Structures are given as C-alpha cells and as structure tokens.
Amino acid sequence: MTAAATTGRLIVGFEGLALDPAWRELLGHPAVGGVILFSRNFASVAQIRELVAEIRALKAPRLLVTVDQEGGRVQRFRAPELTPLPPLGLLGKWFERRPDRARDLAYRHGRVMAAEMLGLGVDLSWAPVLDLDRGSRVIGDRAMSRDPATVADLGGYYLAGMKDAGMAACAKHFPGHGSVVADSHLEVVTDPRPREALEVDLLPFARLVDKLSAVMMGHVRYPAVDPLPAGFSSRWIGGELRRGLGFAGLVVSDDLDMAGAGPVGDLDDRLAAALDAGCDLVLVCNPDSAMQVLTKNPDLPGLNAETLGRLHGRALSSMTEQLLVPEFRAWRESLSLLSQNEQ
C-alpha cells in the first residue's frame, strides 16, 4: 500500500513581488504547507496572478496560497479590477434596520470576495471574523456586530457566499478576541472573565461550527480556562473546540510573532507549543522568522496532504464567466458603493 502524501504545517510570509532563488528553495522546504500574502507582495492583478502561479508550481502536493481579504482596513489586495469591500461592521448596522438586506449584503460580501481571490489563484482568505465588536482596538469594525446572535446569523450568509464561490472558510479568532481592549499584535492580552461569561463570545463559533473548514485561534489568555494563550492551549483546542463544540476541521495558530504569544517563550518555543496543543497549521508571517524556523527545524512533523487539500480553492467558474452575469456585476457595484460611503 502506498503511503499517504504529506505536506508541511507552516504557512509562511515572504518579501517581494516575485520569488528570488532563496525563497524558491525555502518554500520547497518539507515543513512549508503554504504561504500568506500581504500588500508587500501585491503590485497589480497581473503581477499577483503570475506570482501565485509560480508558487503553485513549486512542488507537489502544491502549496496553499492564502491572504487576509476581509474588507475595510484589512484588505491586502487593492486594484481597479478588485472590489473595495466595506468593513464587516457595516453589515451589523444594516441588520439593526433591515435584517433581510443585511443578510443579502453578507452573502454578496462573502461571494464577491471569494470569487475575486479565487480568480487570482488564491485558495483561501482567512475569513470570516466571528469576534464581537465589544471594545477591542484590533477587532472593532472587523466584526459584524457586538451582538453574538447577529454575528452568527450574518456569518451564516457570509459563509454561504464563500461556499457558492468555491472557497473554504476559516473563522477567527477562537474563542473570541472582541471583548478585550488590548491588541494581541502589540501586547500580552488577558481576558479575566469567568468561564461562564465567555459563552457570549463562543456563541457564533458554536452555531456555525459545522460550516467551517478551519478555525484560527486567538493569542489571548483566558485564565479561567488556561493561563496560556488559547492558540497554545490543549484545553481550548482539544477540550473546548474539538470535544466541546465538535469541530472536526483544521486548527490554525495566529501569527507566532505577535506579542500576545510572548508568554510561551521564544519563536521555537511557540512553534513547539502550538503543535503540541493541537494546531494543525502554524502561521509565521514575518519573513525573517520564517527563515529562522525553517533553518532550525528541519524535521517538523508533516500533515496529510488530503487534509490540507480541504482548504484548496475550487472556483466554480472563472471571473470572466462570472462578470458576464448582470447579478454578479451588480453585487460588486453595490459593495463598492457601500465601501465608498464608509470612507
């Protein structure tokens, strides 16, 4: 019997608009399963298509190509050919007045975003945000609402849009980053509430868990459950997410370089702790850190390639074909108009 193909567990960031020989070699490292692209990697639609095609051709099983294309202030790719997406928080504002219109907009948002990224060859946008808008400096209008039932409701329509375009979904940031003010990119973040008080943040994840292919953990400490940040906690990953909510998809760490991961130790400590806690994939977004990890960890355990393949994009039709459909063009125009009105 032939052994199942394996791939790497690291999703890494790199510099530049094209791959130089050093990065071609690094991305061929067996520990690398995919890349995360940023604005630093984007100059135009034609350029990003060429870059993505080069990444996808590097090795087999092919690398997963990802980006953060949430909309609002987190939209890495911006060009005249791409729709300027409004922040998800706009959906919650519409929901307060016109719930049916808000649901329609949520579907359009997920569908257009996913279709455009798939049209570039990108497999996955790390979306949707299922956090609550309850005072966090880093979440804010990236969240659909402060009300968990509204987030769950609109999130279902957003996920349907992504699915109908052919893109898997990765909800973030479990178990919820929106109810603490501090930014885990910049500082260690602790949510001191008792366990029962955290249920409000968990609700959107719990209601949508069967529709998710992946979940990204948050770098927030919840001492009522575990003193470690959630992405390094087997209690959160194995206990609350997998056994408690019954989640069967892929678990992804947030970026290991974030300050919120500090309590775990240095970069190597963080990588080991994330994998030991149950993360299937680990984000290393800083290129220097990615180089360091790949140099110092030549023998990381692999991941079944078919498992990672669940996150590969499967566009149901090309962008050229979709743009022939008046309804799809109208969806793009409506989102662009809403985005302009938010500025």
Which two structure tokens, joined as six digits, stand for 77? 């790719």
Q: What is the DSSP letter of 298?
A: T
Q: How many CA atoms lie within 13 A of 276 on its CB side?
A: 10
DSSP, collapsed to helix, strand or coil, labels residue 297 as: coil
Decide if 288 is catalytic.
no
237: left (phi over 0), alpha (psi -120 to 50) or beta: alpha
Which one of the listed residues 254, 255, 280, 312 is annotated catalytic?
Answer: 254
Decide if 255 is catalytic.
no
Q: How far apart are alpha carbons 78 and 126 in whole angstroms?
A: 16
- Residue 277 and residue 304 in contact, taking contact as beta carbons nearer than 8 Å: no
Q: How far apart are alpha carbons 56 and 51 in whole angstroms?
A: 9
Which one of the listed residues 164, 185, 257, 269 is annotated catalytic?
Answer: 185
Phi, psi (rounded to 5 degrees) for 314? -135, 75
Looking at the annotation, which residues are catalytic?
A: 185, 254
